[in-house]
Amino acid sequence: MPGILIYAEVQKGEIKKGAFEITSKAKQLAGDVGGEVAACIIGKDVEGLASELAKYGADKIFVVDGPEFENYVPEAYVQAFAQVASQFNPSIILTSASAQGKDFTPALAARLKVGSISDCVDLSVSGGKLVAKRPMYAGKAYAMVEAVKEPQIASVRPNSFAIEETAGAGAVEKVSVSLDTSKIKMEVKSLELAASEEPDQTEAEIIVSGGRGMKGPENFKILEDLAHAFGPTATTGASRAAVDAGWRDHSYQVGQTGKTVSPNLYVACGISGAIQHLAGMGTSKVIVAINKDPEAPIFTKADYGVVDDLFKVVPPLTEEVKKIKG
Amino acid sequence: MNTVVCMKQVPDTETLIKINPEGTGIVTEGIKWVMCPYDEYAVEEALQQKEKFKAGKVTIVSMGPDRGIEAIRTGLAMGADTAVHINDAAFYEKADPYATAAALAAAIKDLEYDAIFCGKQAIDDDSGQVPAILGELLGLPVVTLVVKLEVSEDKSKAVATREVEGGHAVVEVSLPAIFSAQKGLNEPRYASLPGIMKAKKKPVDVKTVSDLGVSVEPMTVIKEMSLPPARQAGKILEGEDAVEKAKALTKALHEEAKLI
């Protein structure tokens, strides 16, 4: 049975952007594999969100809604999604490689007794089979990977595909799943989410990142100001040097032992460009480097470079960006 | 507390990756091999739990070729008690995450443990799938991206803080369970000189496919590998002073790159 089923992740009462990206891509791929594009959302009070997915090409939207799905618990979500998958019987399943998606996808694949391909940056169909391109070694190399059995499962790195509005039939179907609660051995006690509305580094469209050249934790304020000027799709990041110095939390770290990111714009401030860092941000669409050392390796990768003291460049840059943004 | 640590030997993060002429894998000559940095957190956590309970055994389970013994000895020198080395070309040469997890599960199933620790991902293939698949194969709950762990006195459950997008989640899980370690969980110790001497005498059980009684076909296959397209150095923006350079940069981002 052909058809593509996507997992549309909900966070803070909204469908995540990554879900729209994979729905848009699924719509394109459906032309090659045939069948319908279906999406599945799981959560508490999420039914009202379902129809949004139709705008990007979902023909069917399965809704699993209930208080037992208020918080993400892998076993509960895997059981629910596996039941939807057996009902729709897709040849391809796509998820977003968000923090939750990276937890959920391999568990789902193992439950369905198939493989999954994680953190893909491109997808195509050849001879009816899904072929996925994914970075390895934090982006120092790429592999083309095929999943042997159906359903072929891939998680897709956020920002890899554009969101395109193409209407799908959008039939919403509420699914009641039977949970085997004896298998659920984990319970969420509390969630501590930062109040800020900043996107995660892996999902941000613009990242303003700071390294050793920032000289101290207090100076990251100027990067936050610049990110703020760029707008709500921007956030800040840090190099390993800045994280290991204790200036920024590890959740900000970009690079081989931190996050691998591919924003539209990456602004590296006071970052020399160690190989581990370049690997983690090398797929950014446009890279800007601001560094007073003209020999810094970061300049060999940057589309735009400013050789000067970042503390003299960043504040006026913020002002100029504000002027354009009005 | 008895624990198992799944560990992988990987190229050091400094490594410049080259692709072999067949395009099927990387050039492995000249690489400095190390314990995966995330697995160091896993080993450290196992050691700290053992120290806290003042009892138990830490067993390292690792799959890889002969050279893998060096990383295993590093773990033993840090303080792990014993190790299982799955050393069989039939496994590691084409092992995908599923095959890896299946081999590890076969080696682990007869061991005694209250918890299994893994790194959040191996920094070579970056799949990050093994903990979840291992959980499925062993029928254990899996808590990924753990940055803090408290095990109850009776070792029946644990409270783990895990990284989620935009913050942290605190979860309670029954033991035995699998935990994948994220940076921040602890500060891995260095192997001491006496530790290194002792490690040489610690037992390492080498296992092959037939020892484990499993034959595992991979679920995913790498068709081709390539290097990322080379990035060319771009334009250096000139200006009389920093303010002028900032203006030139803004103009370029606005008019050329059309990003603002």
Grouping H, G, I as helix, E, B as strand and the rest as coil, residue A18 is helix
Same domain, B80 and B150: yes
Angular region, B208: left φ>0, alpha ψ -120 to 50, beta rest = beta
Chain B residues in contact with A138 by the CB 8 A cut-off are 13, 123, 126
Residue B248 structural domain: 233-260
Same domain, B256 and B136: no
How does the average pLDDT of chain B come out, rounded?
A: 96
pLDDT band of B232, cuts 50, 70, 90: confident
Strands (E) located in chain A: 4-8, 10-11, 14-15, 37-43, 60-65, 92-96, 116-120, 122-126, 129-136, 141-147, 152-156, 171-174, 186-193, 206-210, 234-238, 265-269, 286-291, 304-307
Beta carbons of B249 and A283 less than 8 Å apart: no
Same domain, B182 and B253: no
**Cα-Cα end-to-end distance for chain A:** 52
At residue A128, the pLDDT reads 83
Q: Considering the domain boundaries, does residue B220 fall inside one?
A: no
Q: Considering the domain boundaries, does residue B217 fall inside one?
A: no
Same domain, B43 and B167: yes
- Residue A254: which of A215, A292, A291, A287 has the closest Cα? A287
- Residue B144: which of A100, A245, A298, A98 has the closest Cα? A100
**How many angstroms from the chain centroid is the CA of residue B52?**
24
CATH code where residue B11 lies: 3.40.50.620
Interface test mutation site (partner A, options B15, B126, B144, B183, max chain A beta carbons within 10 A)? B126
Q: Considering the domain boundaries, does residue B205 fall inside one?
A: yes
Same domain, B251 and B147: no
Grouping H, G, I as helix, E, B as strand and the rest as coil, residue B33 is strand
Beta carbons within 10 angstroms of residue B241's beta carbon = 11
**CA–CA separation, A242 and A320 (whole Å):** 26
At residue A196, the pLDDT reads 73
Q: Is B113's Cβ below 8 Å from some Cβ in A? A: no
Grouping H, G, I as helix, E, B as strand and the rest as coil, residue B164 is strand
Residue of chain B minimizing CA distance to A275: B14
Q: Which residues contact B83 (CB under 8 A, 6 or more apart)?
A: B59, B60, B61, B62, B72, B75, B76, B202, B203, B204, B205
Grouping H, G, I as helix, E, B as strand and the rest as coil, residue A180 is coil
Kindly report, residue by residue over B138-154, the tens digit of the pLDDT: 999 999 999 999 999 99
**CA–CA separation, A302 and A282 (whole Å):** 9
C-alpha gyration radius of chain A: 21
Structure tokens at B29: 């000559």
Same domain, B84 and B151: yes
pLDDT band of B92, cuts 50, 70, 90: confident
Residues facing A254 on adjacent strands:
A259
Same domain, B140 and B241: no
Cβ-contact B42, B80 below 8 angstroms: no
**CA–CA separation, A87 and A177 (whole Å):** 11
Q: Considering the domain boundaries, does residue B47 fall inside one?
A: yes
Instruction: Looking at the complex, report in whole angstroms how far the Cα of residue B84 sits from the nearest Cα belonging to chain A.
Output: 24
Q: Is B94's Cβ below 8 Å from some Cβ in A? A: no
Same domain, B154 and B249: no
Same domain, B96 and B132: yes
Minimal Cβ distance to B225: which of A142, A148, A324: A142
At residue A1, the pLDDT reads 58
Domains for chain A: give ranges and CATH numbers: 4-177 (3.40.50.620), 206-325 (3.40.50.1220)
Torsion of CA B148, B44, B94, B101, to 10 degrees: -50
Give CA separation, B211 vs B7, B87, B88, B106, B214, in Å: 20, 11, 10, 10, 8
Same domain, B32 and B71: yes
Beta carbons of A141 and B224 less than 8 Å apart: no
Q: Does the N-terminal peptide bond of residue B229 adopt cis geometry, omega within 30 degrees of 0?
A: no
Chain A residues in contact with B234 by the CB 8 A cut-off are 287, 302-305
pLDDT band of B226, cuts 50, 70, 90: very high
Structure tokens at A202: 């892996």
Q: Considering the domain boundaries, does residue B228 fall inside one?
A: no
Cβ-contact A210, A269 below 8 angstroms: yes
What is the predicted ipTM? 0.95
At residue B165, the pLDDT reads 85
Beta carbons within 10 angstroms of residue A293's beta carbon = 12
At residue B229, the pLDDT reads 87
H helix and E strand count, chain B: 8, 13
Average pLDDT for residues B199-221, to the nearest whole number? 93
Regions in chain A scoring below 70 on pLDDT: 1
Q: Considering the domain boundaries, does residue B223 fall inside one?
A: no
Chain B residues in contact with A180 by the CB 8 A cut-off are none
**Cα-Cα end-to-end distance for chain B:** 55
Beta carbons within 10 angstroms of residue A149's beta carbon = 14
**CA–CA separation, B184 and B214 (whole Å):** 36
Chain B residues in contact with A109 by the CB 8 A cut-off are 98, 129, 133, 219
pLDDT band of B209, cuts 50, 70, 90: confident
Same domain, B133 and B248: no
Kindly report, residue by residue over A85-104, the tens digit of the pLDDT: 999 999 999 999 999 999 99
Structure tokens at A42: 């799981």
Q: Is B259's Cβ below 8 Å from some Cβ in A? A: yes
**CA–CA separation, A77 and A104 (whole Å):** 8
Residue of chain A minimizing CA distance to B15: A275
Q: Is A195's Cβ below 8 Å from some Cβ in B? A: no
Structure tokens at A206: 């613009």
Beta carbons of A148 and B218 less than 8 Å apart: yes
Residue of chain A minimizing CA distance to B234: A303
Chain A residues in contact with B131 by the CB 8 A cut-off are 106
Q: Which helix (H) or strand (E) holds B180?
A: strand B177-181
Cβ-contact A27, A57 below 8 angstroms: yes
Average pLDDT for residues B230-257, to the nearest whole number? 94
Minimal Cβ distance to B259: which of A114, A189, A265: A265
Torsion of CA B144, B150, B151, B156, to 10 degrees: -70
Average pLDDT for residues B38-50, to the nearest whole number? 98
Residue of chain B minimizing CA distance to A11: B165
- Residue B100: which of B120, B55, B130, B135 has the closest Cα? B130
Same domain, B63 and B180: yes
Domain count, chain B: 2
Beta carbons of B221 and A145 less than 8 Å apart: yes
At residue B214, the pLDDT reads 87
